[in-house]
Structure formats: C-alpha cells, structure tokens
C-alpha cells in the first residue's frame, strides 16, 4: 500500500465556541486548503458573534505540552500563532518553538482586539509580543490598530501602508508583514505585503463588501497563509493565495445570516454553498 503524507499545520490559539474564529476557524481553513490541522489551545474563550464574555486561560505548562505532543509525534510544515493573552504565555511559546529550529514557516497573527471590540491581550504583553515572539516568526498579519500598537505610530491612510509595513518589519527583527487595510474607509480594499526576504512590496486589492460577516477574518487569513506555506508556496505566492482565499470566503459568507452580530466567513466556499 502506498504511504501518503499530509501537509501539516499546527495552530496555537484560543478557541471560539461559536465556530467563526480562533482554533475553529484555523482548523476549517487548514482543511479547506488541503492540510492536516492540529491545535494547541491556549485559552477557552466565551464568545459568539455579538462579543466576548470571558477568557479562561489554559495553564502555560499545559500549552507547552500540547505543542510538544504535536511536534514530537506528527511534526508540522507550518505553524500559525493566534491569540496569546499574556507575556508569560508569549515567552513560553517562544521557548518551546526554539527547541524546533528547523520549523521556520511560522505565521503570527498579533491578535489584540476581537471584531466586536473586546480586548484579548493584556496591556503588558504587547512589548513581549513585539520583542520576544515576533522575531521568531516568518510573517505577521496585523490589522491597522494592531500595527499601530506594535509600532507606536498612527496610520493616516492607504498611502502610509507601504512605509509603515517596512518600518514595522525593521522594528520587529526583519519579519515579513502582511498589513491588512480593512479598517480604512477607502472604496477599494488594498492590503500590502512586504516580503522582507526579497524586499518586494505587493499590493493585494479586493472589493470591499457591505457585510457584517467579518468574524474571524484575521484568523482565517493567517491560517490560509500558513497552509499555503505548508504546501510549498513561495512567500509572495502564499500571500497572494491567502488574499484570494479570504476574499472568496468573505464574499460567500456575506450571503448568509447567522447569529445576531458579526457572522463568520464561509470557510468551505470552494467546496459547497
């Protein structure tokens, strides 16, 4: 019998019981893009499409154990890191990943605030994220408020994004930056991707849709980028592929009504409707 192998992706993030963001969105995305998904859950989050009610952290040592259990047995071709709520946890994840130096395709989504506006990161953890963990990543995928918090500067408009992405990369150890433009009000949505390895700047444009179904878009985008890297795509092609996928998922999800707040995207838009 032929022995096939999976493309393997590990997500390190919090859970979302409503299924639209966090671990649940990551695993759906990995599956939709042809990867075998694994998870290390850092917190059980009480949330739905309306907002976050509470966050119950998983003990840090137990998070480390989940990561090692996956990597020591199954291994991973790429890792996606999402919500890490404390400096202690951020330092523990970095310490653990440092034992797997061959694992370089790490995509970090610096989750700080939920779509509903609820804070998901402790105030003293921003510095640890910037100085301790981001330099271990290959790509980060901040939205505009997250990028502003990481760099301590404001973004005034679309024209600022390329220079801001370069500056953020330089401030964070030379990481590549996928800077999302969703919080701007321009008619067209143009994300920028700064490839720090080749000095390329990509402008990734899509239609801005009038929909409230944006819950988990950041989780989904970063997971898609990780899945593309796990499947062997170049950094630029992974950025383009992730942008195409999230654009399709948002467009397909806009047709549905689910929940009373910000509904999810349609992660399996390429498979069923």
Catalytic residue among 217, 220, 243, 263: 217
Catalytic residue among 216, 241, 253, 263: 216
Active site annotation includes 53: no
Token pair, residue 268, equals 């399996």
Is the alpha carbon torsion for 91, 93, 99, 103 positive or negative?
A: negative
Catalytic residue among 219, 253, 263, 269: 219
Catalytic residue among 29, 180, 241, 263: 180
Active site annotation includes 5: no
Catalytic residue among 214, 241, 243, 269: 214
Active site annotation includes 9: no
Using CA atoms, how far apart are residues 140 and 203, in angstroms rounded to an integer?
Answer: 16
Using CA atoms, how far apart are residues 263 and 273, in angstroms rounded to an integer?
Answer: 16
Active site annotation includes 217: yes
Using CA atoms, how far apart are residues 107 and 163, in angstroms rounded to an integer?
Answer: 21
Active site annotation includes 220: no
Neighbours of 121 (CB within 10 A): 21
Cβ atoms of 230 and 78 closer than 8 Å: yes
Measured between alpha carbons, how far is residue 165 from residues 105, 150, 189 in Å? 19, 11, 16
Active site annotation includes 216: yes
Catalytic residue among 218, 241, 253, 263: 218
Give catalytic residue positions.
Answer: 180, 214, 216-219
């Amino acid at each position: 019998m032929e022995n096939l192998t999976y493309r393997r992706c590990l997500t390190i993030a919090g859970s979302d019981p409503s299924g639209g963001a966090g671990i649940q969105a990551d695993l759906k995305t990995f599956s939709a893009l042809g990867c075998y998904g694994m998870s290390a859950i850092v917190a059980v989050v009480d949330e739905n499409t309306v907002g976050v009610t509470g966050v119950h952290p998983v003990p840090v040592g137990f998070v480390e154990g989940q990561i090692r259990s996956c990597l020591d047995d199954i291994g991973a071709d790429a890792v996606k890191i999402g919500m890490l709520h404390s400096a202690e946890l951020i330092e523990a994840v970095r310490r653990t990943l440092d034992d797997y130096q061959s694992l370089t395709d790490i995509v970090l989504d610096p989750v700080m605030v939920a779509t509903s506006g609820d804070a998901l990161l402790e105030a003293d953890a921003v510095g640890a994220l910037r100085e301790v963990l981001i330099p271990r990543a290959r790509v980060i995928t901040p939205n505009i408020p997250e990028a502003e918090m990481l760099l301590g500067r404001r973004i005034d408009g679309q024209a600022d994004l390329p220079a801001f992405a370069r500056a953020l990369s330089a401030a964070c150890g030379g990481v590549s930056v996928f800077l999302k433009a969703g919080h701007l009000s321009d008619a067209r949505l143009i994300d920028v991707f700064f490839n720090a390895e080749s000095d390329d700047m990509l402008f990734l444009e899509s239609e801005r849709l009038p929909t409230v179904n944006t819950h988990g878009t950041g989780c989904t985008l970063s997971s898609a980028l990780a899945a593309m890297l796990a499947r062997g795509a170049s950094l630029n092609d992974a950025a383009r592929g992730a942008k195409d996928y999230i654009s399709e998922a948002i467009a397909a999800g806009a047709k549905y009504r689910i929940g009373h707040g910000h509904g999810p995207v349609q992660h399996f838009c390429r498979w069923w409707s």
